[in-house]
């Protein structure tokens, strides 16, 4: 739904730029990124900006779920009127995931 309404940001550069601009959404990070240093600062930025984030095991699956044949290390889904109920439900469920430090 986010891809159809053009309210999705794919890739490290696009998501970082959106976060710097202050855009809000849900950030999904791939767990198999190598080297991990290229995305290791994003959870801290998300927590400071009060943006929910989560991990998915595969960057290949993350890219395919965005409608792309390429892999995606990181995706930001922004709120849109066409799926605002689903967005709110997903945001609260991600917020309920316990963080292990």
> What is the distance of C-alpha 60 from the center of its chain?
14
What residue numbers bound the domain in which 36 lies?
2-96
User: Could you read off the pLDDT tens digit of each residue along the chain, which spans 101 residues?
Assistant: 777 778 889 989 999 999 999 998 899 999 888 888 898 899 999 889 988 898 889 989 888 888 888 898 999 988 888 778 888 888 888 877 776 65
Q: How many domains does the chain have?
A: 1
* Tokens representing residue 11 in the block: 């890739």
Judge whether 22 and 45 are in contact, CB under 8 Å: no
Judge whether 38 lies within some domain.
Answer: yes
Judge whether 101 lies within some domain.
Answer: no
pTM, entire model: 0.85
Judge whether 91 and 21 are in contact, CB under 8 Å: no
């Amino acid at each position: 739904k986010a891809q159809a309404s053009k309210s999705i940001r794919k890739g490290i550069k696009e998501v970082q730029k959106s976060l710097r601009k202050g855009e809000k959404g849900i950030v999904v990070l791939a767990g198999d990124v190598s080297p991990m240093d290229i995305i290791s600062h994003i959870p801290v930025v998300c927590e400071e900006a009060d943006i929910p984030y989560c991990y998915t095991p595969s960057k290949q699956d993350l890219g395919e779920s965005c409608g792309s044949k390429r892999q995606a290390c990181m995706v930001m889904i922004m709120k849109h009127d066409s799926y605002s109920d689903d967005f709110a439900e997903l945001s609260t469920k991600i917020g309920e995931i316990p963080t292990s430090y």
